[in-house]
Amino acid sequence: MTVVKDAQRKVIIVTGASQGIGAGLVQAFRDRGYCVIANSRSIQPSDDPNILTVAGDISRPETAASIVEQGLGRFGRIDTLVNNAGIFISKPFTEYTDADFTSVVATNLAGFFHITQAVIAQMLEQGAGHVVNMAASIADHPNSKVPAVLASLTKGGLSAATKALALEYASRGIRVNAVSPSATNTSMHAVETQAASVTLQPLGRMAEISDVAGAVLYLESAPFVTGEILHVDGGQSAGQ
């Protein structure tokens, strides 16, 4: 499938794009007229000529390289990257297995590192760009009722990397921000756990996909904002 490259149409990469927040982001940016490069392990081809799907494990450097190569081949540019792919496992610390550690670190950290490195290299050639990382409110505001050290280790690392990269590339036209949601109403959270999640939100409900997508859209349209960790957590980060 060939799409005419249009220097005026912006192009975004969304990882973890086949369901939940990722699928919501794909739709939100298509509604704004963006071309979308969508990645997940199991993503299927799209009938929309302005959506390029690239299946593959985002933790692997060859997947990152393929996303960038295919995206440039189809659309000619990359304006924004949303590092949405992530794994959340809540367990008491001593019950985490080696497999838990390996899978969470691979997706949450390696899945950020390889694609972001490749995309920023392209953005430097273009002279502009925007990266949005998906952090987690629980990483910097832990709760004894939801033990999640691997989230703190990895998503907390993304928050720190967001600020470091924002400063490193601010003078070269590249912004880096993060959205830090609390528990969001997706299939990741079983129905039987949702009532407990609601009690942790001062606003009295879980975040919806549209809440998180709206935060990403705000950051995308805020050219003087960089290095920001935007909490979308119903006030959870303010205290309880």
Which domain CATH number covers 15? 3.40.50.720
* Inside any domain, residue 105: yes
- The alpha helices in 32-176, defined as continuous H runs, are 61-75, 98-105, 111-126, 137-140, 149-169
Rounded (5°) CA angle 178-179-183: 145
* Inside any domain, residue 44: yes
pLDDT at position 199 over 70 = no
* Inside any domain, residue 240: no
Q: At what angle do helices 20-31 and 209-220 cross, to 10 degrees?
A: 50
Give the tens place of pLDDT for each residue, 79-104: 999 999 999 999 999 999 999 999 99
Give the tens place of pLDDT for each residue, 8-40: 799 999 999 999 999 999 999 999 999 999 999
For the chain, what is the mean pLDDT? Answer: 92
* Inside any domain, residue 236: no
* Inside any domain, residue 140: yes
* Inside any domain, residue 237: no
How many structural domains is the chain composed of?
Answer: 1
**In sequence order, what are the residues at sequence separation of 6 or more whose Cβ sits closer than 8 angstroms to the Cβ of residue 31?**
none
Domain hosting residue 218, numbered range: 11-228
pLDDT > 70: percent of the chain: 91
* Inside any domain, residue 31: yes
Q: Measure Cα distances from 104 to 3, 69, 86, 94, 194 in Å.
A: 36, 26, 7, 16, 22
- The pTM of this model reads 0.92
* Inside any domain, residue 239: no
